[in-house]
Amino acid sequence: MNNNQYKWVIALSLLLPFSGSAQKRVGDLTLLYNSVITDSKDSSRKILSTTAYFLKGNLSRAEVNSSLFSSVTIYDSKAGSGVILREVNGQKLLIRMNEENWNQKNGRFLSLNFTQVNEKKIIAGYTCKLAKVSSPDGFEITVFYTRDLIPENKFYDPLFKNLDGLPLEYELQRGNLHIKYTLASVNLNPVPASKFDIPTSGYREMTYEESLKLKTGNP
């Protein structure tokens, strides 16, 4: 092997560690999860729900729907502000949050440090790694995540703000309570800007502090 051939071999070898870990950073992303909540003390009791995330740049929208509860959270990570839309006892509420409110509501997640476990899984065609973490309020969290898709907006779900990838399947457990989220679909098509419009009528508007006084508890 002559010197020129040797140089090419060395140059190509430097690329090998990266050949199997190509990442795609995405600004527009739609994720849909199915979830089930169970109680180990009562196996017949289950709550089924869906959670959808819509991401467009610094904007995110999270929709949670079940037979017992529904809510929408719209958040602008650049401005540090957002709103929660929900219906309580037939009354439609719009709860405004500034950056301080957002951090107060999600503070228990902001300092989570995930530990990677030596286990992999293919989900929706994406190679996923397993990570675990314990939250300050007692939840044991396990998550399969991929580094093939990296959202530009890391603030769309405070639970995974510090996760080095995109969660595709995860579980939370505390005592008898168990919650499992399973990916139903992932879509990379552009998200309409109208998804992040905040209603201007039809809702009773209140501050985050006022919402904490409701008998229904924290939003």
Question: Over the stretch 51-98, which tens digit does the pLDDT of each residue have?
Answer: 999 999 999 999 999 888 889 999 999 999 999 999 877 789 999 999
What pLDDT does 167 receive?
98
Distance CA 175, CA 201 (A): 41
The predicted model scores a pTM of 0.85
Low-confidence ranges of the chain (pLDDT < 50): 5-21, 216-219
User: To which CATH superfamily is domain 22-211 assigned?
Assistant: Lipoprotein localisation LolA/LolB/LppX (2.50.20.10)
What pLDDT does 68 receive?
80
Domain boundaries, the chain: 22-211
Judge contact between 130 and 117, C-beta under 8 A.
Answer: yes
| Residue 65: burial class (beta carbons within 10 Å; 0-12, 13-18, 19+) | middle
Cα distances (Å, whole numbers) of residue 201 to 74, 80, 111, 193, 194? 16, 23, 37, 19, 16
What pLDDT does 213 receive?
86
